[in-house]
Structure 1
């Protein structure tokens, strides 16, 4: 039965006889429809960008090629996001739109982490503190204006023309106050956030910024970033 559902190959169910065919077709249709709805819910803006017909055609190809392997359908969108670039090779931004939507979805369901706040500043030993990502935090590196297009789609506005970025765009994704969010980060922040797995000492952050900008400017930069991270709830104090 599993082979039939995953492939639709009639050889798998020949022993059931012709009388079983109508019921088997119902099972097969329900199986594929459930997976299609799963991908619909996971990638609404990617679907809007591609158009429903084109998105569903690609989704059906993926469903036939890659059946679920996890115990929960929540994990199924991961494999689709990884294949969007292959399914739609002529689209400049589709795979990055899907990647961003998946990251935002993951942030929504990520384990809770207490975010750093300004109230904590005076109570922490900054010589010892290590910082890590807030709930669902990760950095995406894009080569197109997919994030700008996602924002326009989320506001039901006319999307900008897709284009390749002059330089890679680093995007921080995390959850703040129960809402998944993202913003573009500059080179300083991207380098720091990419080192926060599992955690990065604040004194090492300061040392990096001092080396890049000089002692006075580096310390000032560290203070500005720390304040912004606290206001955005973008980092957490590591427990290790």
Structure 2
């Protein structure tokens, strides 16, 4: 047997407990194969437990272990790092617990926060460099790692209570979905829910709308004074939370996009 064939048989045994592969490796190897497979599965369970601690606390040890074993049986590792193994676990939970959608949503929050933690750094705009900004023409660039999650249940409230080691509320569907905004501030991952007005503002700005145009849109809806107050509060929050990585005028932003396209 070649080394490549032996490696493939070992993989097939670990992932699928393939009896034919075990036979080809040899009958005397059976005790050792069992040990290797147990270590393989134990390591993957530990990986999921580490990444989804709040989910585990919510559904309990037995139910979590059942879901982890099901996931391991059906979704073998496909990356060079175990950090990536949990990416499909919320989908597994959604299939196993379709009647309890808050479970997959809590896992989705945990996954998003974990991926945010290892995202590439994006130096934020400092508050001391805003004096010369033409806010009417300004185009804001947000950190690419910023994420938005749409939640149909009160999973954010449940996750927050679990994170604070408090009694979580009973699960329930929401009349209107929550939108959770996730970002990284230095080495800290942050999350908060936002209302539809801030969501639409973020989506418009990320699509290239100038800050001045956003101000005019909000002023038309709320009146000039209330609109400027609200937009100013948003801007202050985005800057102090280190979400904004560049502020250009319209011409500079177009040149930035053009240079990225050429690359």
Q: Which runs of 5+ in 2 are unaligned?
A: 1-9, 248-252, 257-263
Task: State yes or no: 1:35 paired with 2:44.
Answer: yes
Match of 2:192 among 166, 169, 183: 183
- What is the CA-CA distance between 1:130 and the residue it aligns to? 2.5
Give me the CA root mean square deviation: 2.1
| 1:51-200 to 2 correspondences below 5 Å | 51-134=60-143, 136-195=145-204, 197=206, 200=209
- What is the CA-CA distance between 1:192 and the residue it aligns to? 2.7
Structure 1 contact 172–185 (Cα < 8 Å) conserved: yes
Q: State the partner residue of 1:11.
A: 20
Q: Distance in 2 between matches of 1:200 and 1:6?
A: 49
Give 1 or 2 for the bigger CA radius of gyration.
2
- What is the CA-CA distance between 1:214 and the residue it aligns to? 4.4
- What is the CA-CA distance between 1:87 and the residue it aligns to? 1.9
Aligned partner of residue 176 in structure 2, secondary structure: strand
Aligned positions, number: 240
- What is the CA-CA distance between 1:45 and the residue it aligns to? 0.2
Structure 1 contact 81–95 (Cα < 8 Å) conserved: yes
CA pair 20-99 structure 1, distance change in 2 beyond 3 A: same
Q: Which runs of 5+ in 1 are unaligned?
A: none
Q: Distance in 1 between matches of 2:206 and 2:81?
A: 26
Task: Select between 136-145 and 185-194 the one with higher mean Cα deviation.
Answer: 185-194
Q: Distance in 2 between matches of 1:49 and 1:198?
A: 37
Aligned partner of residue 99 in structure 1, secondary structure: helix
- What is the CA-CA distance between 1:229 and the residue it aligns to? 1.4
Task: State yes or no: 1:233 paired with 2:242.
Answer: yes
CA pair 206-83 structure 1, distance change in 2 beyond 3 A: farther
Structure 1 contact 139–193 (Cα < 8 Å) conserved: no
Q: Distance in 2 between matches of 1:115 and 1:128?
A: 20
Q: Distance in 2 between matches of 1:197 and 1:76?
A: 30
Task: Select between 67-76 and 209-218 the one with higher mean Cα deviation.
Answer: 209-218
Q: State the partner residue of 1:47.
A: 56
Q: State the partner residue of 2:29.
A: 20
TM-score when normalising by structure 1: 0.90
Q: Distance in 2 between matches of 1:170 and 1:8?
A: 42
